[in-house]
Amino acid sequence: MSAWFDEKYKVLIIEGEHDEALLKQAFELIHAEYTDLAELFLSAEFEKMTYIYYLNNRISTIKYTIGLQKDFIRDFGLPYIPALPFFKKFGHSIYWDTTTSNVPAFLKILDQIEVKEKKYEAQLKAKEKELGDLQARKTSKEFTPLQTRHAFIKTLNGLQKAGYRIDKESTTVEEFGLMIKEQKKENERIAAEAKNRK
């Protein structure tokens, strides 16, 4: 941990004397192995993929629902009223005024919802680009020190919240990697149980 946080590479020496450049190179190798063992960037990739799935689902659902409403209006002259509360799930309040039965005004509201939803299409493109960049960096192992440090600290905090005791001076990289693997297995078990309950 001292090598990581304080750049004190001399803690890597078991015996003998070595120059700083060699120690730094050894630490970079250890760090790369640790990142592979811990699958450190898997959670960031998963978060981005989950959000992309959510955005895809939102965009297609809204488009499909608006299309169905317009088809229903074309066929029957009024909207399918039981489906209107569905729009609230996506933050849109839409009502049919039975006193005026103004179809053009209702169609205009549907068009306004479509325009408002365009921002999610832009977010989707941005998130897909972020995911592509992350996957490209992951395969080429190009992460800035700030990104690796941020992910490391996030992992460290998560493990401590889960009850693992991590001492800055005595916890080894191997122990830390095993803690991460155990916590990952536990998270997968909890997710599987939650999925089975549904």
What are the residue boundaries of the structural domains of the chain, listed by start? Answer: 1-41+143-169, 47-127
- Summarised one tens digit per residue, pLDDT across range 138-189 is 676 655 555 666 676 777 777 777 788 877 677 777 777 788 788 788 878 8
pLDDT recorded at residue 74 = 94
pLDDT of residue 32: 61
CA distance 173 to 128: 33
Assign 3-state DSSP to the chain and report helix, strand, coil percentages, each to 5.
75, 0, 25
The tens digit of pLDDT for each residue in 72-124 reads: 999 999 999 999 999 998 899 898 888 888 999 999 999 999 999 999 999 99
Provide the pLDDT for residue 180. 79
pLDDT at 15 (0 to 100): 58
pLDDT band at 134 (very low <50, low <70, confident <90, very high): confident
Lowest mean pLDDT among 20-24, 67-71, 191-195: 20-24
Residue 180, Cβ density class (10 Å: 0-12 exposed, 13-18 middle, ≥19 buried) = buried
pLDDT at 165: 80
Q: Inform me whether the pLDDT recorded for 4 exceeds 60.
A: no
Instruction: Provide the pLDDT confidence category of residue 125 given band limits of 50, 70 and 90.
Output: very high
Which is higher by pLDDT, 1 or 177? 177
Polymer length of the chain: 198
Task: Give the HSE-up count for residue 24: Cα atoms under 13 Å, Cβ half-sphere.
Answer: 5
Which pLDDT score is estimated for 119? 93
pLDDT at site 28? 67
Four-residue CA torsion sign, 2, 4, 9, 14: positive
Alpha carbon dihedral 177, 178, 184, 190, in 10-degree steps, equals -160
Q: What is the pLDDT of residues 29-65, one digit of tens each?
A: 666 666 555 555 556 676 778 788 888 889 999 999 9
pLDDT of residue 2: 47
pLDDT at residue 3, as a whole number: 46
